[in-house]
Amino acid sequence: MSTLSTTSAAAVLEGLDHARGWMEDFYRNLHQHPELSHQEAQTATSVSEHLQRAGYEVTTGVGGTGVIGVLRNGDGPTVLLRADMDALPVQEETGLGYASSATVVDAQGATVPVMHACGHDVHVTALIGTAALMAGARDQWNGTLVVLFQPAEEVGDGARGMVADGLMALVGTVDVALAQHVLPLPAGVVGTRSGAVLSAADSMRITVHGRGAHGSMPQAGVDPVVLASMIVVRLQTVISREVAPTEPAVLTVGSIQAGTKSNVIGDHAVLQLNVRTYNQQTRTAVLDAIRRVVTAECDASGSPVPPQFEMFDRFPPTTNDPATTTKVRGAFTDYFGDRLIELPLQSASEDFSDITAALEVPYTYWGLGGIDPDTYHTAQAAGRIAQDIPVNHSPFFAPVIQPTLDTGTQALVVAALAYLGTTPK
């Protein structure tokens, strides 16, 4: 980070002392009023109102409920900062005074609880704060700042929806894109990683067919339960025997549904599985192997109908551009010092790179700690991090408000100014 950029970041972040109070109020309100994927109407309204007051050109309804704010501030690069807005169908168990008790009707017509169990409320609040601070200190930077609030990250199609709804025309040419995610790490810590950082995720629904019969006369049927069982066992060899030991990959069969009664052989079984990989070559190889194994097992069992394969909930890999990561890491090193860590490879997935691929722009994506440092270090000393530290999607996941919000806002400002923080006007 250059001396000018360091000076600009310090000047912009002077406004954080004033913004901290309303940002914390915004966060508590958002946490208490979460919205499911594709239902983020209230969140989007609140975001757009804040951006308009700060002087941004605002476009709403992008890809459903997405919001884009653009702040032009003279000649210079264009930097895109992104936050995701949606919550999860989880019953909150944190016991917080501002815990969510919300319930909504989901896309399938069921009434479900809703919670910001993945920290998207942190992301939105930090980006709203960043947008306000950058607007209030325009004499410290040059260029164009694009702030993008994305719906439906949790179901993997929110980014694609914004792209399909004209994202490229709305934001124009972008020079770099940046994003972050709160994780079960000590609050105040920021973690970067070059190259692969988040996995691709592919969910597959497979229907295999048998022939129904009485349980006492199995010779008259083709048992789909046995067929599905053989498939599950054989699929375990895809990772252990077809993927190099040095290449991370996960294949999980999470659901099998078949039959209705103990003495009835049914006529079909439905398996649902999930695959996590980190590059396109391995991703293609594993998905092809699944189809090959399932088809072969159906043939071996004498299945009367070929299997059906349905892909859903698909996420691209997140692979940080090395040059961009190096530049942002340098800025973080100057600002955060020993609070900057090397982010471990993550097995979770994201759709942020669907946006960057459409814009053909380099990007980096970093992690942000959200756990009370004393709680985390106590668990670490006892060797009980897995048991005592709630992770994303847990009903107990509750980032501490501070220093999480401050750190998330600082990280976005510092990263943006690594590009925009040129000679002040």
Nearest to 152 by CA among 203, 191, 118, 187: 118
Is 181 annotated for ligand binding? yes
CB 352 within 8 A of CB 82: yes
Name the token pair of 345.
Answer: 């490879």
287 φ/ψ sector (left φ>0, alpha ψ -120 to 50, else beta): alpha
Kindly state the helix (H) or strand (E) to which residue 420 belongs, with its residue range: helix 401-420
- Spatial CB neighbours of 286, under 8 Å, sequence gap ≥ 6: 238, 239, 242, 243, 249, 251, 275, 277
Taking phi over 0 as left and psi of -120 to 50 as alpha, with beta for the rest, 6 belongs to alpha
Distances (CA, A) of 98 to 19, 30, 50, 346, 422: 20, 9, 21, 29, 41
Q: How far apart are CA 141 and CA 239, in angstroms?
A: 49
Q: Is residue 127 a contact partner of residue 47, using CB atoms and an 8 Å limit?
A: no
Which residues lie below 8 Å from residue 208, measured CB to CB, with a gap of 6+? 224, 227, 228, 231, 268, 269, 270, 271, 294, 297, 298, 303, 307
Three-class secondary structure of residue 367 per DSSP: strand
Collapsed DSSP state (helix, strand, coil) of residue 238: helix
Binding site, annotated residues for Mn(2+): 118, 120, 154, 181
> Residues within the annotated binding site?
118, 120, 154, 181
